[in-house]
Amino acid sequence: MLEFIRQPWPWYTSGAVIAFVMVLLLFFGKSFGFSSNLRTICSACGAGRHVRFFDYDWRSQRWNLLFLAGAIVGGFISSEFLSSGEAVQISKATIEDLSTLGISAPNGIQPAEIFSLEALFTVKGFLVLLLGGFAIGFGARYAGGCTSGHAISGISNLQLPSLIAVIGFFIGGLITTFILLPLLF
């Protein structure tokens, strides 16, 4: 059984699981979004006393915090106990594109030139991670949610703002891939 769980599963397995989770959330009247957990955590820690945005009943979002905890625990279990230890499989064209930027194919999940302690303690690496984190945080707040919330939950609820946000996410990804990354690396 463990060997079955450890092997790579087809791409459509995750799609079926996401669809199942979305049906459950819709059935219970909930909407999914991971970035909303940051607001919930800030509210639970008392930030509502100082900032009106965090002044709401965070207890109504406990289910989402449980989902967050499950994702963290599940990621740890799969990484530590179910991983085959192989590097992530990416296409040869992607490896060639990365090599032109001076980034080697990942030995694990992510390239060490960007996501490692050695890269973090360089000025360039620190700034890339800091500005990237700021852009993600600012963008998620400005768009009223993150990519998972808009693309999975918002579009499944047929919300036009979510469709517009997802189009913006894709345009931003294309700009980053074809313009910003070559400039930075």
d(CA 66, CA 25): 14
For residue 55, pLDDT over 90 is answered with yes
Q: What are the tens digits of pLDDT across the range 116-175?
A: 888 889 998 888 889 988 988 888 888 888 888 888 888 888 899 999 999 999 999 999
- Tell which residue, 160, 143, 167, has the closest CA to residue 33: 143
Share of residues in the chain with pLDDT > 90 (%) = 26
Phi, psi of 128 (to 5 degrees): -60, -45
Strand, helix or coil at 171? helix
Residue 102: predicted pLDDT: 85
Q: Per-residue pLDDT averaged across 33-43, rounded?
A: 87
Asked whether 145 and 165 are in contact (CB, 8 A), the reply is yes
Domain ranges of the chain: 1-83, 116-185
- State yes or no: pLDDT of 104 exceeds 80: yes
Per-residue model confidence (pLDDT) at position 52: 92
- What is the pLDDT, as a whole number, of residue 16? 92
